[in-house]
A and B are shown apart, each in its own frame.
Chain A
Amino acid sequence: MRDPVSIVMLILLAVLAYLVIWPFFQLVINTFTWSEGSRRISREAVPGQFTWFYWLQVTAGPISGKMLYGPLINTLITGIISTILALIAGGSLAWCIVRSDMPGKRWLQPILTLPYILPSFAVALAWETVFRSPKVGGQPGLYEAILGIAPPEWLSYGVVPISITLAIHYFPFAYLLVAGALATIDSQMEESALISGAGKLTILRRITFPVVAPAFVAAIILTFGKTIGQFALPFLLGAPTQFHTVATMIYANLALGLDSMAYVLAVILIAMSLLSIWLSNRFIKKKSGRFETISGKGFRSREIALGNWRWFIFSVVSLFGFVVGILPIILLGVQSVMLIDGFYGLENLTSHFWIGKSNLNIAGGEPGVIYNKIILGATWNTLKLAFLSAVFASVIGIIIAYIAVRRANNPLAVLLDQIAFIPFLFPTIAFGAMYLTLFAVPVGPIPALYGTFTLLVLISVVSRLPYSVKTGITAVTQIGQELEEAAEVAGASWGRRFRKIIMPLASSGIMSGMMVSFVGVMRELSLIILLITPATRVLMTAGFGYAEEGLTQLTNALVLIVALLTISGELILWKIGKGRMARLREKQS
């Protein structure tokens, strides 16, 4: 076969099989194989031989309570509570924004999605700033400074703060899913109920809610699936009191050198994620339901009048938006300019952590952001990583999308599309664990990539593929097949057609996809935390490192930088999205 598309397809299949499917098997195999380091745990260890040891230890051994069941229960509890909170908040906000005549929607909407745009770490840091307790070490938080008494420990660390901050980070996700479903409701359904004499609450209960119920259930499961994979947030708010989830336990085990135990936990975490996504797909039933889409059919959507409650609801939503979207950013900023952590007074303000040179009396001699070699290096690494990953992910994404759309009747093309989606199913920390096992040693012609920047780019690109293929498919589907056939009849080769017809026409889609990936990679922590070495530090991991060392001001400064970078990225995205999409629509109509 001389068809270049088939050749590209086969190459991509081989590469993705190695980068997506093989790491999973490698991870599973590792959990059943004695590792080199296990000689100190067990005398029976024969490195390289098959064993049930790790699975037995984790699931039935004397440490299984601490290793698996405790964290598992914690994961389930925080996951369920945060999902319920996120759904209540996201669902009611979606209703207010999509269906009611609440004022100020236009600027409330972006504020309400802020917590999801920010690194999850940011909300956790802000929470810590307020509710930190000296009982577990360090300086008092804002709560104690204002009220004069220490906050109860359950408010500082553990189930409550983790559930609440997880809910704050994920409610916009639930909001987007439910809003998508609400937007597809035809008002005529509600109007006919109104004519039958039903009241507002009856309509909501009997008409609106049943119609969005499937989307609601799917949102519950997907949100839950996302919360259980979270690492940074529960680590920050749980680890100080030895409160562990499965995700943080993976990290803790690796830090202790119990790699194989960590891998067993990673496999369990992946199983939980797969189960939740499988359940949600069963509820949505439609194939396309793996991502929400809104059809553009002509139907009527009437806003429901809130009457006297209008301004009251507006105030509640605004206050909520301020507390979850804007306050955390302010807290990060405030925290980063305090000379001594925990003392709230004007004389304690300093610009040292931003523009100060190394001073041995402050923060162990760690210089401020602009003189700090680690931070500057991390900033450069962050931008480099985000840029390279975004470009590669988009280009590969559009090629896979092209193959999936144009060769839809080729089973290999369908397989390629499905493999590219698989990284979506892996909790990011487990995905990181897979790459740790895969690239620790050289395999054939592939060198040991552990500790290299290349590995970070590789995992970032692969983890972004499900999203970039999705945007690519949308872009390619919009390009009529005849446009390409016309060039084919003119004698243009596939390469030429791809460059001259497909790429320019898909460019706006690719550009926005690239920006989404850029922002996504920039705020990523759990994916790469296991693969980072001092030379390849990025802003998020440097911030995490400072948090572990207790240098909260620098952590806050770094997370604030990431937050501002992501927000500006989102703004640019929003702008080009509006401009370019409008022009393209005009051109193609």
Chain B
Amino acid sequence: MAKISIRNLTKRYGDMTALNNVSLEIDNGEFLVLLGPSGCGKTTLLRCLAGLETPDNGEIIIGDEVIFSSKEKIMLPPGKRNLGMVFQSYALWPHMTVRDNVKFGLDVIKTPKEASDRQLDEVLAKLGMGDLSERYPSELSGGQQQRVALARLLATKPPVFLMDEPLSNLDARLRMDMRVELKRFQSDAGATTVYVTHDQTEAMTMSTRVVVMKNGEIQQVSPPAELYKQPQNTFVADFIGMPRINLIEMQGDGQIFSNGDITIDFGWKPGIKNVVLGARPEDLKISSNPKAHGETYRVMAILPNGPETIVQLQRGKTVIIGRIGHDIIFEKNQEVKVTYTQTSLNVYDADTQNLISPINNI
């Protein structure tokens, strides 16, 4: 069993704070994704877990064992933490064959030859690398190298997997296939997994929970669906979702708010005057029927994208993005009617940029 507790972790590099008082509980068998823009501290957090960086403050507990504690001066070296890691570059040793690469970890923990051979054959076969075991990494394709890195991780059966953007070096199609496979190996092994990525699709599709980070601080920890539906602040709202969410600053009193161009009835009272409205492109109901309900917008740009079409609409000085089905055809400069799906809108406090939940404010 490997539950991971991270408590008040802080890591500084000179004047720069890479992790600022980060606390996080990770359940046994969970697939937790650390997501954020580059420089947000996600890789630093992973490397602190691995023991490749020494935090300045806080503690980390894996299972029942304190592996790092600044107070008690505990800093277990990486090899003693009972975890496996896949690196962004895969870090395959170029002077060793596939088999030797995988075997290295087993040798270090002094696995008897017979058991070691059996485990090696097993893991290589499982990843479909049995025939390639005598090759050198340079003689493998990107996808195959990725599998060797994975085999190296699986061979010693660690209860914790750490992955640092393991799919970022693959092309788009291969990445999709590997996602499915990675997920399968992880759930077969039942290992607690911490996975770093800056690709939100990867985060959404693979994780049980996503941690969004910014400037060394955790912004939100949620299951992927909730993360998309209810971003806790405007940063997360803006970071998650493609195309981007519409964030509109509005003023009002009671439950009707406006920015001068557009006016929306929230259906509940946020209790403050200045808010930021968060509306996903699909929360807009767009109709070409001039008699339809709603305000009139003008179509500025039409961007077809396979199953859906993205449209850019303008009313006064306000420009917003909408999403429509691929079968609906608009023309440039056409006038359309727009209403908003009241229940999916998120309202943020313009001062704090944090979500104001309707439930708390009724």
Residues of A that sit less than 8 Å from B by CB? 480, 482-483, 485-493, 496, 500-501, 504-505, 584, 586-589
Known: A480-B89, A485-B91, A588-B94. A491 touches B80 (CB 8 A): yes
B84 at the binding interface (Cβ < 8 Å): yes
22 pairs of residues in contact across A and B, judged by CB atoms under 8 Å? A480-B89, A483-B94, A485-B85, A486-B91, A486-B152, A487-B104, A488-B77, A489-B79, A489-B162, A490-B104, A490-B105, A490-B156, A491-B108, A492-B104, A500-B104, A501-B93, A505-B93, A505-B95, A586-B138, A587-B136, A588-B94, A589-B138
Q: How far is the CB of A506 from chain B (nearest CB, A)?
A: 10
Q: How far apart are B354's CB and chain A's nearest CB, in angstroms? A: 37
Measured between alpha carbons, how far is A504 from B101 in the docked complex, in Å?
14
**B83 with A482: CB separation less than 8 A:** no
Q: Is the CB of A587 within 8 A of B137?
A: yes
In the complex where A490-B105, A586-B138, A589-B138 touch, is A504 in contact with B95 (Cβ < 8 A)? yes
CA distance A589 to B95 in the complex (A): 12
Given contacts A490-B79, A496-B108, are A588 and B138 in contact (CB under 8 A)? yes
B104 lies within 8 A of A489 (CB): no
| Interface pair A492/B79, CB less than 8 Å apart | yes
Please count how many residues in chain B sit with their CB below 8 Å of the partner chain's CB atoms.
Answer: 28
Neighbouring B residues of A485 by C-beta, 8 Å: 50, 52, 78, 85, 87, 91
Q: Which A residues are CB-close (under 8 A) to B52?
A: 485, 488-489
B88 within 8 A of A: yes
Kindly state whether residue B109 has any CB partner on chain A within 8 Å: yes
Whether the pair B93, A483 counts as a contact (CB closer than 8 A) is yes
CA distance A359 to B138 in the complex (A): 64
A480 CA to B93 CA in the complex, in Å?
A: 10
Is B95 within 8 A of A587, CB to CB? yes
CB neighbours (8 Å) of B92 from chain A are: 483
Given contacts A500-B104, A586-B138, A589-B138, contact A489 B94 (CB under 8 A): no
Q: How far is the CA of A492 from the CA of B89 in the complex (A)?
A: 19
Alpha-carbon distance between A521 and B110 when the two chains are bound, in angstroms: 43
Q: How many A-B pairs with Cβ below 8 Å?
A: 72
| B176 CB → nearest A CB, Å | 25
Q: What residues of chain B have their CB less than 8 Å away from a CB belonging to chain A? A: 50-52, 77-80, 83-85, 87-89, 91-95, 104-105, 108-109, 136-138, 152, 156, 162
Quote the shortest CB–CB distance from B216 to chain A (angstroms).
19
**Are B84 and A482 in touch, CB under 8 angstroms?**
no
State the CA gap A488–B108 with chains docked (Å).
10
User: What's the minimum C-beta distance from A484 to chain B, rounded to whole angstroms?
Assistant: 8
Distance of A489 Cα from B153 Cα, bound (Å) = 10
| Given A482-B89, A486-B87, 7 more pairs with CB closer than 8 A | A480-B91, A485-B78, A486-B85, A486-B93, A491-B80, A505-B93, A588-B94
The verdict on A492 contacting B108 (CB below 8 Å), with A486-B85, A486-B152, A587-B137 known, is yes
Tell me the complex Cα distance, A482–B52, Å.
10
Task: Tell me the minimal C-beta distance from B48 to chain A in angstroms.
Answer: 13
Of chain B, the residue at the smallest CB distance from A494 is B77
Q: Are B79 and A491 in contact (CB under 8 A)?
A: yes
Residues on the A chain within 8 Å of B108, using CB:
487, 490-492, 496
Nearest CB of chain B from residue A463's CB, rounded to whole Å? 31
Distance from A527 Cβ to chain B, minimum over Cβ atoms (Å): 36
A584 contacts which chain B residues (CB < 8 A)? 94
Query: Considering only CB atoms, which chain A residue lies closest to B47 in the complex?
Result: A485
Partner of B91, one of A483, A491, A500, A586: A483
Q: Min CB distance, A583 to chain B, in Å? A: 9
Chain B residues lying within 8 Å of A500, measured Cβ to Cβ, are 104
In the assembled complex, the CB of A2 is this many whole angstroms from the nearest CB of chain B, namely 9
Q: Smallest Cβ distance from B247 to chain A, in angstroms?
A: 38
Partner of A489, one of B84, B137, B138: B84
Min Cβ gap B89→A in Å is 5
A488 with B89, Cβ < 8 A, contacts A496-B108, A586-B138, A587-B94 known: no
CB distance from B146 to the nearest CB of A (A): 14
Bound complex: CA of A483 vs CA of B101, how far in Å? 11
Structural contact, A482 and B50, CB atoms closer than 8 A: no
A490 to B78, CA, bound (A): 8
How far, in whole Å, are A588 and B94 apart by their CA atoms in the complex? Answer: 6
Give the residue of B89, B105, B138 whose beta carbon is less than 8 angstroms from that of A491. Answer: B105
> B136 to chain A: which residues have CB within 8 Å?
587
Distance to closest chain B CB from A1 (angstroms): 11
Taken together as a complex, chains A and B put the C-alpha atoms of A488 and B52 apart, in Å, by 8
Can you name the residue of chain B whose Cβ is closest to the Cβ of A501?
A: B93
The answer, among A489, A493, A505, A588, for a CB contact under 8 Å with B85, is A489
From B50, B84, B93, B137, residue with most partner A Cβ within 10 Å: B93
Contact of A505 among B50, B94, B104 (CB under 8 A): B94
What's the Cα separation between A501 and B93 when bound, in Å?
7
Q: Cβ of A491: which chain B residues have Cβ within 8 Å of it?
A: 78-80, 105, 108-109
Q: Whole-angstrom distance from the CB of A442 to the nearest CB of chain B? A: 42
C-alpha gap A489/B93 in the complex (Å): 14
How far is it, in angstroms, between the C-alpha of A504 and the C-alpha of B136 when the chains are bound?
Answer: 14
Residues in B with CB closer than 8 Å to A496 are: 108
Q: What is the bound-complex CA distance between A483 and B52, given in angstroms?
A: 13
A503 CB, min distance to chain B CBs, angstroms = 10
Contacts of B93 in A (CB 8 A): 483, 486-487, 501, 505
* B77: chain A residues within 8 A (beta carbon): 488
Chain B residues with CB under 8 A of A493:
79
Residues of B within 8 A of A487 (CB): 93, 104, 108
Nearest 10 pairs of A and B residues by beta carbon: A491-B79, A482-B91, A486-B91, A490-B105, A587-B94, A482-B87, A587-B138, A489-B85, A491-B108, A504-B95
B-side contacts of A586, CB under 8 Å:
138
Q: How far is the CA of A500 from the CA of B96 in the complex (A)?
A: 10
Among A486, A487, A493, chain B packs the most CB atoms within 10 A around the CB of A486
Contacts of A505 in B (CB 8 A): 93-95
Residue of A nearest to B14 (CB): A409
Q: Most chain-A CB neighbours within 10 Å: which of B83, B87, B137? A: B87
